């Protein structure tokens, strides 16, 4: 219902800015790929697709940013999305397991929010589809922010600055649907591209050092990384068992609990590698502290188990090659236009 009411006020700003931006796209295309006031994707990345029922606007993105940084979305007002997905820490948080309200810890490492706009499925096991669907999960999760949706709506409604913004953006009071849409619209602006790798690919032969170029050749060749870390976002959007944590007593079985396919035992989503230098520790269980450890893991062929992906096998890499490969990850995939967002002033 709210969508029908809202269509006219929302379409105006994005049509205007599309024209201002000089984009030559038909109005029909606009309804699917409405760019609105969202910033254009950096070089090397495709345009972001915004869902038809959640076109971006500057006001909506700003509201989403405030919600993202607001600890009042947690039961004890201590934890916000940014606690675990901190812009200063690669939109992850450098802890093995993120700590939620009351000091509670889960069993998985916080993935980065960078470029999640491009992901078909969210979470290590892909249990959420859209970012809208994902956003309400942590608010309700007892070990993350621990509020019921009615409680979250009630808390925000009591803050006049939010009440007004929801009216302006959605033409409604605070709703959980609006919370999810605003946060997702903000997340779709957290993009990292235009890295040395992209500039090198576009023809700037000085963008990567010689050693990083050797590392890039290994990445796409002998080291076989691009079998899964492929495309502009360095992921195939697939799930693979690369043998992480499979030797522990009660391994996290990952994707199989969602897909129920036996072959998915121990499989996790292939993560992006953009800004990978900033998001240690690594893997779904945060068990690998450095990129050196990650490369050792792949070099030895992971940890053997009965559903290990067939693309994981012993790589015969010498010390020099390992160094070059790591350098490519660090130097090649870190952008000088890293999307550092500062915490906004929160509404009263």
b (16+ CB within 10 A) / e for 267-277: bbbbbbbbbbb
Among 188, 284, 324, 331, binds ligand HEC (CB under 6 A): 284
Binding status of residue 14 toward ligand HEC by CB under 6 A: no
Binding status of residue 111 toward ligand HEC by CB under 6 A: yes
Binding status of residue 213 toward ligand HEC by CB under 6 A: no
Q: Is 156 exposed, middle or buried (0-12, 13-18, 19+ CB in 10 A)?
A: buried
Binding status of residue 191 toward ligand HEC by CB under 6 A: no
Alpha carbon of residue 340 to chain centroid: 14
Among 14, 162, 166, 268, binds ligand HEC (CB under 6 A): 268
Among 185, 223, 303, 333, binds ligand HEC (CB under 6 A): 223
Among 242, 256, 303, 327, binds ligand HEC (CB under 6 A): 242
- 248 preceded by a cis bond (ω within 30 of 0): no
User: Long-range pairs for 132-136 at CB < 8 Å and ≥24 separation?
Assistant: 132/51, 132/54, 132/180, 132/181, 132/184, 133/180, 134/184, 135/179, 135/180, 135/183, 135/184, 135/187, 136/176, 136/179, 136/180
Token code pair at residue 306: 């009965």
| Region near ligand HEC per CB under 6 A, out of 39-47, 76-84, 168-176, 192-200 | 76-84
b (16+ CB within 10 A) / e for 87-113: bebbbbbbbbbbbbbeeeeeebbbbbb
Between 23 and 227, CB nearer to ligand HEC: 227
Q: Which residue in the list 88, 133, 144, 210 is annotated as catalytic?
A: 144
Active site residue 88: no
Binding status of residue 278 toward ligand HEC by CB under 6 A: no
Binding status of residue 294 toward ligand HEC by CB under 6 A: yes
Cβ contacts of residue 276 below 8 Å, gap of 6+?
282, 291, 329, 330, 333, 334
Q: Which of residues 311-340 bind ligand HEC (CB under 6 A)?
A: 311-312, 325
C-alpha distances in angstroms, 280 versus 96, 112, 219? 8, 10, 19
Binding status of residue 279 toward ligand HEC by CB under 6 A: yes
| Region near ligand HEC per CB under 6 A, out of 9-17, 51-59, 221-229, 335-343 | 221-229
Interacting residues with ligand HEC (CB under 6 A): 68, 79, 81, 83-85, 98, 100, 106, 108, 110-111, 113, 116, 119, 122-125, 131, 134-135, 138-139, 144-145, 183, 223-225, 227-229, 240, 242, 244, 268, 270-271, 273, 276, 279, 282-284, 291, 294-295, 298, 309, 311-312, 325
Active site residues: 144
């Amino acid at each position: 219902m709210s969508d029908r009411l809202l269509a006219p006020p929302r379409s105006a700003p994005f049509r205007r800015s599309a024209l201002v931006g000089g984009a030559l796209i038909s109005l029909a295309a606009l309804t699917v790929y409405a760019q609105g006031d969202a910033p254009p994707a950096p070089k090397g990345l495709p345009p972001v697709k915004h869902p038809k029922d959640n076109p971006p606007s500057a006001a909506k993105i700003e509201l989403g940013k405030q919600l993202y940084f607001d600890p009042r979305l947690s039961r004890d007002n201590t934890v916000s999305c940014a606690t675990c997905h901190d812009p200063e820490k690669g939109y992850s948080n450098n802890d093995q397991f993120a700590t939620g309200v009351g000091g509670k810890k889960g069993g998985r490492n916080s993935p980065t929010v960078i470029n999640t706009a491009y992901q078909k499925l969210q979470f290590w096991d892909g249990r959420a589809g859209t970012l809208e669907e994902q956003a309400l999960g942590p608010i309700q999760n007892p070990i993350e922010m621990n509020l019921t949706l009615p409680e979250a709506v009630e808390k925000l409604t009591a803050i006049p600055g939010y009440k007004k913004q929801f009216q302006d953006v959605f033409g409604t009071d605070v709703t959980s649907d609006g919370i999810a849409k605003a946060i997702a619209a903000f997340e779709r602006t957290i993009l990292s591209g235009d890295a040395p790798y992209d500039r090198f690919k576009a023809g700037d032969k000085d963008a990567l050092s010689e050693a990083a170029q050797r590392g890039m050749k290994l990445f796409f060749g002998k080291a076989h990384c691009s079998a899964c870390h492929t495309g502009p976002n360095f992921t195939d959007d697939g799930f693979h068992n690369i043998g992480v944590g499979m030797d522990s007593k009660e391994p996290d079985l990952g994707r199989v609990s969602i897909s129920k396919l036996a072959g998915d035992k121990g499989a996790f989503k292939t993560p992006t590698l953009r800004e990978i230098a900033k998001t240690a520790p690594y893997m779904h269980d945060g068990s690998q502290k450095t990129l050196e450890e990650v490369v050792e893991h792949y070099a030895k062929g992971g940890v053997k188990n009965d559903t290990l992906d067939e693309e994981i096998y012993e790589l015969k890499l010498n010390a020099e090659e390992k160094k070059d490969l790591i350098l490519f990850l660090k130097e090649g995939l870190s952008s000088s236009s890293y999307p550092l967002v500062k915490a906004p002033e929160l509404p009263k």
